[in-house]
Amino acid sequence: MTEFWLISAPGEKTCQQTWDKLMAATTRTNNLSTNHKFSIPDLKVGTLDVLVGLSDELAKLDSFVESVVKKVAQYMADVLEDSRDKVQENLLANGVDLVTYITRFQWDMAKYPIKQSLKNISEIISKQVSQIDNDLKARASAYNNLKGNLQNLERKNAGSLLTRSLADIVKKEDFVLDSEYLITMLVVVPKINYPDWQKTYETLAEMVVPRSSNLLFEDSDSGLFSVTLFRKAIDDFKHKARENKFTVRDFQYNEEEMKADKEEMTRLSTDKKKQFGPLVRWLKVNFSEAFIAWIHIKALRVFVESVLRYGLPVNFQAMLLQPSKKTMKKLREVLNDLYKHLDSSAAAIIDSAMDIPGLNLSQQEYYPYVYYKIDCNLLEFKV
């Protein structure tokens, strides 16, 4: 399970007692969750009005930063072409895996100085993550264009003989070039029609050069034949060929154009390789930055909400719980019993919700204790 519950409860005589109580209720006898203390420094409280306003702003900022974290992670998966193991080993925070970072969370004093007001800290995070979001859009757009152009060229060089580029199949010596009267045409013939082609190609139009047809290339279904004829017979030949299920490809041998196409493909391929390394590095660094910012927002939200709910002086214990899927329901009940004295109206809502089928509180989860979910499963792999 990569889901964590970040909760807080008021300090009893000491915060350690609050922690011991939680541990006794959730791990001693029933092993409902793995728990860690979540350390939040002494932040500047400010006024009640500011805290109330900040509570709403932080909720919006939380959603925005989470969306950027997921975007960076998903784009990393796209760039690494969905190699799941490769992606996971690149999604780190401060050089460690996400679970380790969260469970050993330490406030970054250098990035987010605690002498600043809470509002300033949230603005620093907002600015930083907005910049990452904008940079990601620009970098992704440039790389996707490059990748798209390369894929289009690669697509041209693959597929059936009816549609694919013929430039890398034919050679100069396959054609009669620089003739005022003669032209070499390329015709796609289904394999089952080879005998018909050999029997009829010389008579499909007047002025076809006898014995001028050669098989140049085959794929699983068809063959590419060359045939030389007089220019004035082109239209007649195309028409008759179509009637006989032979497809004339519009192709003129042009060395300059073919060379330019090849060079373009090499250039795009080289550019893609050149951009790949720096892009993956940028994604790694900025995923880490965005994820760290996100967890600091969770810490800010716990702090603000705890002060608003439990009052001053600041006295609460923040705790990180990692439940397993099987124990979630039971853990909720245990936490509700443990903390229902903090807010009787919340306990009443939860009790009634359990009795009313179809009442879904998940949109606006409210419990007698401060609660925020952190889900580290950030990727949706395309199966």
CATH number at residue 182: 3.30.70.100
Same domain, 144 and 69: yes
> Do the domain assignments include residue 104?
yes
Strand partners, 5: 321, 373
Same domain, 41 and 114: yes
What is the span of the domain harbouring residue 7?
3-150+279-375
The pLDDT, as a whole number, for residue 366 is 83
Same domain, 73 and 124: yes
Whole-number Cα distances in Å, 344 to 193, 278, 341 = 85, 54, 6
The pLDDT, as a whole number, for residue 262 is 86
> Do the domain assignments include residue 268?
no
Once rounded to an integer, what is the mean pLDDT over residues 218-229?
A: 95
- The encoded tokens of residue 254 equal 């042009």
Q: What is the pLDDT of residues 146-203, one digit of tens each?
A: 999 988 888 888 888 988 888 888 999 999 998 999 999 999 999 999 999 999 999 9
> Do the domain assignments include residue 166?
no
* Four-CA torsion 236, 241, 244, 246, nearest 10 degrees: -170
Same domain, 133 and 176: no
Compute how many other C-beta atoms are within 10 angstroms of the C-beta atom of residue 221.
12
Same domain, 135 and 177: no
Same domain, 234 and 358: no
Percent of the chain with pLDDT over 90: 73
Same domain, 9 and 78: yes
The last residue of one of the domains, among 237, 252, 267, is 252
Q: What is the pLDDT of residues 229-239, one digit of tens each?
A: 999 999 999 99
Q: Which comes out higher in pLDDT, residue 347 or 256?
A: 256
> Do the domain assignments include residue 156?
no
> How long is the chain?
383
CATH number at residue 22: 1.20.1460.10
Compute how many other C-beta atoms are within 10 angstroms of the C-beta atom of residue 203.
9
Same domain, 198 and 141: no
The average confidence (pLDDT) of the chain is 90
> Do the domain assignments include residue 258?
no
Q: Which comes out higher in pLDDT, residue 84 or 367?
A: 367
Q: How far from chain centre, in Å, is Cα 12? A: 44
> Do the domain assignments include residue 274?
no
The last residue of one of the domains, among 252, 270, 291, is 252
Q: How many domains does the chain have?
A: 2
Once rounded to an integer, what is the mean pLDDT over residues 325-343?
A: 91
- The encoded tokens of residue 371 equal 């609660």
The last residue of one of the domains, among 252, 287, 320, is 252
Query: Exposed, middle or buried by CB within 10 Å (0-12, 13-18, 19+), for 356?
Result: exposed
182: Cβ–Cβ under 8 A, 6 or more apart, which residues? 176, 209, 228, 229, 230, 231
Same domain, 20 and 51: yes
Same domain, 205 and 348: no
Once rounded to an integer, what is the mean pLDDT over residues 77-86?
A: 80
- The encoded tokens of residue 322 equal 């990692």
Same domain, 285 and 343: yes
> Do the domain assignments include residue 271?
no
Once rounded to an integer, what is the mean pLDDT over residues 274-286?
A: 95
Once rounded to an integer, what is the mean pLDDT over residues 284-293?
A: 98
> Do the domain assignments include residue 228?
yes
pLDDT at 339 over 70: yes
Q: What is the pLDDT of residues 38-69, one digit of tens each?
A: 999 999 998 889 999 999 999 999 999 999 99
Same domain, 28 and 143: yes
pLDDT at 349 over 90: no
